[in-house]
Amino acid sequence: MRVLDLSVSVLGLIVLSPVLLVVALVVKVTSRGPVLYRAERVGKDGRLFHLYKFRSMVVDADRGARVTGKDDERVTPVGRMLRRSKIDELPQLFNTLRGDMSLVGPRPEDPGYVRGYSPEQRRVLDVKPGITGAATVLMRHEEQLLTGPDWEETYRRELLPEKLQIELDYLSQRTLSKDLHILLQTAFALCTKATRFVANRGSACRS
């Protein structure tokens, strides 16, 4: 699987390099702060690492809730587009090259949430976290479900246990062919939305 991770990550970075450049420039000129956001996450066997994302929120947004809600005011206008299309996740190809993550696996969580895992739920830490995974595909509109005055508690009590159960069920019957199917689903969605994002930004610049 490591060979697949390296091969696809390198190819992805090469093919998507124009998109990465455009997104980096857009993030830089539209809001104050760095292009990339480094989030502390829990990886395989409980090891902490820094996950890379295109910054989609205002500076110091991590002082608030550790999960983003539907109408979260911390998200920038460009960031909202990036999050909706999942393009903000593309820098995690570098995490895959470093060996922190795999292409497919349970999404890595904030240490604050992992501390509340049950012994059964901690089984997701037996494998490397992934850029995409079973729960990512099935719950790709997660933010739209987090509404109300305390969406973080809704995430902690309802969505997170559901996501973990999806991943545990998937890991119990995981095969290479199923991983490849998830990768193809994710790649198709990303490429389609990345093209749309670049086209929208170009139209906005010409108007």
Residue 112 belongs to some domain of the structure: yes
Give the tokens for residue 87.
Answer: 């393009």
Residue 207 belongs to some domain of the structure: no
Residue 199 has pLDDT above 70, yes or no: no
Q: How many domains, in total, are found in the chain? A: 1
Residue 206 belongs to some domain of the structure: no
Q: Which long-range contacts (CB under 8 A, 24 or more apart) does 72-80 make?
A: 72/143, 76/30, 76/31, 77/30, 78/26, 78/27, 78/30, 78/31, 79/27, 79/31, 79/55, 80/56
Residue 146 belongs to some domain of the structure: yes
Residue 83 belongs to some domain of the structure: yes
Distances 21 to 14, 17, 38, 91, 196 between C-alpha atoms, Å: 11, 6, 18, 11, 15
Residue 205 belongs to some domain of the structure: no
Determine the structural domain holding residue 133 and report its residue range: 2-200
Residues 64-83 have pLDDT tens digits of 788 888 888 899 999 999 98
Residues 93-151 have pLDDT tens digits of 999 999 999 999 999 999 999 999 999 999 999 999 999 999 988 887 777 778 777 88
